[in-house]
Structure 1
Amino acid sequence: MNRVIPIGFIICLFLSACSADKRSPLNTSFYNGQGDKIGTATLKEMSDGVQVKVKVEGLEPGPHAIHVHEFPKCKAPDFKSAGNHFNPMSKLHGLMNAEGAHAGDLPNIEADSAGMVNAELMLPDATLKDGQKSLLRKEGTSLVIHSGVDDGMTQPAGDSGERFACAKITLDADKNETSDPTEPMEKQKKSSK
């Protein structure tokens, strides 16, 4: 009997680890309002939250707001289908707000003079595991890039302008995806062979 409990416990740990492996890292793609793929995001479970690596092109040079939104729906051209910010703890918006922030609030990203972004961000109040703060709870969530900058305070979304691009955060977001448009063409040709 004593041997059965440890073996059962080990099996549970193994199954939990397998489940976590399917959730992290999680890859997804950004699409603009015209339906063009303009980049990718990779989300990875870390000890201090969820790491978000963003690689995008085609933005206006300068800072842009990026947030996690509550639904995995990216209906172009305005992406309003993504809903409000992911906010499971019912806080106010803004990384600079003493009463905030939403779990989906992220620092602004900066597009270079060519309109490209290569950034690594952190969501300290989120997880890819099960739970209230899971980005994968229910159907999932989405990442939305805005045309303007998030001022870190204004309710409900930091006065960040129109929604410019959207990426679904779901377990199967990376299925049937094309190559990364921010990679050089030679690299894309090799990966398609």
Structure 2
Amino acid sequence: MKKIQLLFAFILVAGLSASTYAQTMTNMNMSSTAKDNSIQHAVCVINPTQGNTVSGLISFTKVEGGIKVTADLEGLAPGKHGIHIHECGDCSAADGSSAGGHFNPMAMNHGAPMDAMRHEGDMGNIEANDSGKAHMEYVDHSISLEGSSSIIGRSVIIHKNEDDLKTQPTGNAGPRIGCGVIGIAK
């Protein structure tokens, strides 16, 4: 009887060890897979709203400490133009209004892109040269490509006027002259 009890105890311990090992390996594989599948890069192709000419590409790349934003646009009037991430990924309205308001999941006031308290969608201004071309590059410490505050599937709006970085809730940047939806890139 004692031998049977010892045999049973041995089988039980061996079975539990194998089960724990299998679960540990599964968890390690899931962690590895999740890490490999994280979003590293997103893009947004800007097209003009009705009656406008702006077009271009904006990229969002995960870097140490934030998201690197790189924008290259053309077809703009010379000067500064407000640029914002908007809550909806819908550019179907001729005037861009289907994109909704500024992306603001934390219910903050409008501000500058480097302000600690601001809409997550506040990207400030992009400045066009005399040829109507504009380039902007910075690291944004508030936006994310993943999670509940992800910018994936939202839109970027280019405005006709300069964002004054203070008027609530829009920065007084005027009509929407360009729109694009942010999507996952390889």
TM-score norm. by structure 2 comes to: 0.80
The 8 Å contact of residues 113 and 122 in structure 2, kept in 1 or not, is answered as no
Deviation for aligned residue 1:55: 0.9
Tell me if 1:32 matches 2:34: no
What is the CA distance between 1:124 and its match in structure 2?
1.6
Larger of the two Rg values belongs to structure: 2
Q: What amino acid sits opposite 2:154 in the alignment?
A: T
Q: Report 1:12-31 matches (<5 A).
A: 12-20=30-38, 23-31=39-47
Letter in structure 1 aligned against 2:118: A
Alpha-carbon separation, structure 1, partners of 2:137 and 2:90: 23
Give matches, 1:74-85, under 5 Å.
74-85=91-102
Residues 46 and 36 (structure 1), Cα distance of their counterparts in 2 relative to 1, 3 Å cut: same
TM-superposition CA deviations, 1:143-172 (whole Å, max 9, x none): 11101111110011100111110110133x
Structure 1, gaps ≥5 residues long: 176-193
Aligned to 1:72: 89
Which residues of 2 match residues 35-50 of structure 1 at below 5 A? 38-50=55-67
Q: Which of the pair is proportionally richer in helix?
A: 2
Q: 1:63, 1:108 within 8 Å by CA — same for their partners in 2?
A: yes
CA contact (8 A) 1:97 1:152 kept: no
How many percent identity over aligned positions? 32
More strand per residue: 1 or 2? 2
Contact 1:29 1:37 in 2 (8 A): no
1:144 paired with 2:144, answer no
Letter in 2 for 1:111: A
CA distance in 2, matches of 1:159, 1:37: 19
**After superposition, what is the alpha-carbon deviation per residue over 1:41-82, rounded to whole angstroms, capped at 9, x for unaligned?**
111122322222111100011111100000000124210000
Structure 1 consecutive aligned stretches of length 4 or more whose deviation exceeds 4 Å: 96-99
Quick check: 1:118 aligned with 2:131? Answer: no
Shift of 1:123: 2.8
CA contact (8 A) 2:81 2:163 kept: yes
Seen in structure 2, the aligned counterparts of structure 1 residues 99 and 52 have a Cα distance that, compared at 3 Å, is closer
